Structure 1
Amino acid sequence: MSDLSAEAQQQDAALLRRPGPERFHTQTEWLDSFHSFSFAGHYSPDWMGFGPLRVINDDVIAAGRGFGMHSHRDMEIITVMVDGQLTHRDSLGNSGLLQTGEVQRMSAGTGIVHSEMNEADQSCRLLQIWIEPSKDGLAPSYEQRAVHLRANDWTPVLDPLDPEAMAIQRPVHLWRAQVARGKTLELPSVEASQYWLQVIDGEIELKSLSSRNTLRKGDGLGFRGRPTGLQSLESRCDQSDLLLFALN
């Protein structure tokens, strides 16, 4: 066995896979939610988050329902609107619609109260993400943007140095990509201590020097340090929808 092969196999062993069907699941009359990490009444010491990434909730909210006014503090909350629309109201005076393709950033800081209601006549789907800030006690803030995705490429959503993207109170990068069948992506050239890949929809093949792994809707994959053995990601369906985090 060559040194390169041994290194590649070590990289594969270091990958942390979170299969979508094994996520925690909350089902009520109006909410269908899958939790990648421990959340609310769901707890496992093995799934308390990944570095500063604490929550990835994949929520489907029924028409006319939602989350009433509730509070947060000392957490960076990012909402990626996958389908439909959601009405946001908060104690900072912000009020409006979050629609398909838009992303909301809310820095809870010293405290914020908000509601998220689906006031439309059809269900909506979103991913809500919580990331720990670099320090507590910061002033709360809010921002919302439409993200115009590049074809078959990573589009920055969070980037502390890119004025075209949003930034949170931690040096985190987040990209979204929608990839057509047979198209491949390389990892962005950003150095980070940890990465997390989340499949919103579709199916991808993860190609490394020693193996190939298939990831499907709801699957997550974490890796610590830049994986030298990882070559590319290839979409195996008409359109795969992905999020990639670079975490420090």
Structure 2
Amino acid sequence: MTDAAIRPRTDLRRTAERYLSTPATGIETRHAFSFSGHYDPKNTHFGALLACNEERLAPGAGFDEHRHRDTEILTVVLEGALAHRDSDGHSGVVRPGMVQHLGAGSGVTHTERNVGGAEVPVRFVQMWLQPDVFDAPPAYGLRRVEPAADGLTLLASGLPRDADTPALRLRRSDAALWLVTAGPWLPLPELPAAEYRYAHLTAGSLGFRTVRGPQGGGRSMEPGDSARISGDAFADPTAGEHGAELLLWEMHSPVSYG
């Protein structure tokens, strides 16, 4: 699909519009897309992104062993600590300021739990991306992130241009995940251009225009809100009084079927 075939558009979705599920005691999940028993045929993905879940696990709660295949899974913890263990022998504790990548590849089982002994919930965002390399060996990565001075920090990427960076490596050659930050009342740094961009606000607030020029309507975002951005939209994004922090997917092609 070419840029010319995509109508510039910003589709704002509020956190309260997400489907809320409680799959087990102590677990609350808000789903941005169709997921598990919740199916909306008009909301199955955006670009190559298959899931963006806001998760809350109470002390002692977690997801028992379950299996994934051919999915790139990125996890960012906002509060608390998340313990991961998988069938390939990887284990780690994800805390705020870190990003975790699990490339399910040919198949892997794992558990995710609020870290043992915790007295507070763990809150995290988990995103699933379709790879373009299938049936590969499972892969795991965990890194601490030092936010860039310019407010644009690369977390993970499969793009060849990013091969020599510290970013976690994705098995999709035209997608990257960024952490974007801006101080109070400041404009966001210039965002990477892409046919599909997905922004999820994790802290602060943000104002923007839906498209460039006088036709663009003003919108605002609060934590948990997301924007699905097609083409050259999402104009003049500016942080609110407490600054802004968001996760931004840069994707140059959509989900592929067959």
Where do 1:107-186 residues align within 5 Å? 107-118=103-114, 119=116, 120-151=118-149, 153-159=151-157, 160=159, 161=162, 162-170=164-172, 171-186=174-189
Q: 5, 10, 15: which one pairs with 1:15? A: 10
Per-residue CA deviations over 1:23-62 (Å, capped at 9, x if unaligned) read: 1111354012111111122111121010210000011110
Runs of 4+ with >6 A deviation = none
Where do 1:14-53 residues align within 5 Å? 14-27=9-22, 29-53=25-49
- Range moving further from structure 2, 165-174 or 231-240: 231-240
Q: Which residue of 2 aligns with 1:247?
A: 251
TM-score, normalised via structure 2 length: 0.85
2:217 matches 1:214: no
Q: What is the CA-CA distance between 1:139 and the residue it aligns to?
A: 1.4
Letter matched to residue 123 of structure 2: R
2:203 matches 1:201: yes
Per-residue CA deviations over 1:211-244 (Å, capped at 9, x if unaligned) read: 32111222111122233xx442111131322011
* RMSD over aligned Cα atoms: 1.7
Q: What is the CA-CA distance between 1:152 and the residue it aligns to?
A: 6.3
CA change 1:53–1:220 in 2 (3 A) is same
Q: In 1, Cα distance between the equivalents of 2:151 and 2:236? A: 12
- Range moving further from structure 2, 29-38 or 105-114: 29-38
Q: In 1, Cα distance between the equivalents of 2:213 and 2:204? A: 23
Letter matched to residue 110 of structure 1: S
Q: Which residue of 2 aligns with 1:100?
A: 96
Q: 228, 237, 243: which one pairs with 2:241? A: 237
CA change 1:29–1:152 in 2 (3 A) is farther
Contact 1:88 1:117 in 2 (8 A): yes
Q: In 2, Cα distance between the equivalents of 1:59 and 1:25? A: 10
Q: Tell me the secondary structure at the aligned position of residue 245 of structure 1.
A: strand
Letter matched to residue 13 of structure 2: R
Contact 2:92 2:142 in 1 (8 A): no
Q: Which residue of 2 aligns with 1:7?
A: none
TM-score, normalised via structure 1 length: 0.88
Q: In 2, Cα distance between the equivalents of 1:97 and 1:142? A: 13
Q: In 2, Cα distance between the equivalents of 1:112 and 1:30? A: 24
Equivalent pairs: percent with the same residue? Answer: 30
Q: Which residue of 1 aligns with 2:56?
A: 60
- Range moving further from structure 2, 32-41 or 202-211: 202-211
Letter matched to residue 96 of structure 2: T
Q: Tell me the secondary structure at the aligned position of residue 21 of structure 1.
A: helix
Q: Tell me the secondary structure at the aligned position of residue 37 of structure 1.
A: coil
**Which sections of structure 1, spanning at least 5 residues, go unmatched?**
1-9
Q: What is the CA-CA distance between 1:91 and the residue it aligns to?
A: 1.0
Q: Which residue of 2 aligns with 1:81?
A: 77
**Which sections of structure 2, spanning at least 5 residues, go unmatched?**
1-6, 253-258
Q: In 2, Cα distance between the equivalents of 1:68 and 1:152? A: 40
